[in-house]
Amino acid sequence: MEPDKQRSWRRNCQVFEERAEEYDSWFEHSLLFDIELAAIQKLAVSLPRPWVEIGVGPGRFAARLGTEFGIDPAPAALRIAAGRGIVPIAGIGEQLPLAGASTGTVSMLFTLCFLSNPETALAECFRILRPEGILLLGFIPAHSPWGWSLAAKKNRQHPYYRYVRCKTVAKTRQLLDQAGFVIHQGYSTLFQNPGAVNSLEKPRSGLDEKAGFCVLSATRRKS
């Protein structure tokens, strides 16, 4: 990997290494976690195994979904994930340490906005998936109140979000198409505004730019 790209991913993940336990604690008794998990679960039914999550972090979502393997560049986060029964694998999305066509389902649920090179990471997802495999991709639409909130935190140099770059629904579709993926289904949720999440939400079908969280399933385009 080019030296500047290597510095970039090390810089981006440093806070998740240094403050892994603090980050993990945010999910305790969190409505955000429950709302996002409900949307993901709409798509995570009877998907081919094995499952791998890229950017697994402390493994809370992976553990609830039954994901076997988790990839992350932050050793401290991987140790927490291992304690939840996830097989930890040190690595980055742009250079996955897995063989081609070795994976049934790849999930990348909260990682896209942190990637320095999303095009390469999605190409890597395509490479490691079996021909019939599924990609689960979650993202925060850039033009939603949540996307604007993260942009404001980025401008204030928030320790977790100083390098975040949210994508619009249209840009996400374009990235997937360029990587050779075809979207099959999507759900949107988190229509309550940041700082005002007071109740559970049912995910809505489709990808809505005004939602705080979207998740989709995609397959490799057949040549």
Q: What mean pLDDT is predicted for residues 3-7?
A: 42
Instruction: Please give the average per-residue pLDDT across 173-186, as a whole number.
Output: 98
Residues 6+ apart with CB under 8 A from 196: none
Say how many C-beta atoms besides its own lie within 10 A of residue 90's C-beta. Answer: 11
Q: Over 60: is that where the pLDDT of 7 sits?
A: no
Write the DSSP string, 122-142. Answer: HHHHHHHEEEEEEEEEEE--T
Per-residue pLDDT reduced to its tens digit, 77-125: 999 999 999 999 999 999 999 999 999 999 999 999 999 899 999 999 9
Q: How far apart are CA 174 and CA 39, in angstroms?
A: 22
Q: Is the pTM of this model over 0.85?
A: yes
Q: What is the mean pLDDT of residues 174-190?
A: 98
- Tell me the percentage of the chain whose pLDDT exceeds 90: 83
Q: Please tell me the predicted confidence (pLDDT) of residue 13.
A: 64
Mean pLDDT of 159-186: 95
Specify the pLDDT at position 21: 76
Tokens of 15: 């806070």
Question: Given this model, what pLDDT does residue 69 score?
Answer: 98
- Averaged pLDDT for residues 158-170: 91
Straight-line distance from the first to the last Cα atom of the chain, in angstroms, rounded to the nearest whole number: 28
- What pLDDT shows up at residue 1? 43
pLDDT at 154: 93
Topology, domain 3-220 = Rossmann fold (3.40.50)
Query: Token match 């994508």: residue?
Result: 167
Which residue in 107, 58, 106 sits closest to 85, CA to CA? 58
Amino acid at 130: R
Q: Mean pLDDT over residues 204-214, rounded?
A: 98
pLDDT at 214 over 50: yes
Q: Which of 159, 141, 125, 128 is nearest to 39 (CA)?
A: 141
Per-residue pLDDT for 8 more than 70?
no
Residue-wise pLDDT for 45-87, tens only, equals: 999 999 999 999 999 999 999 999 999 999 999 999 999 999 9
Give which of 220, 223, 21 is closest to 106, Cα–Cα.
220
Q: How far apart are CA 115 and CA 27, in angstroms?
A: 22
Please tell me the distance from the alpha carbon of residue 15 to that of residue 19, in angstroms, as a whole number: 6
Give the model confidence (pLDDT) of 25-44 as tens digits. Answer: 777 878 999 999 999 999 99
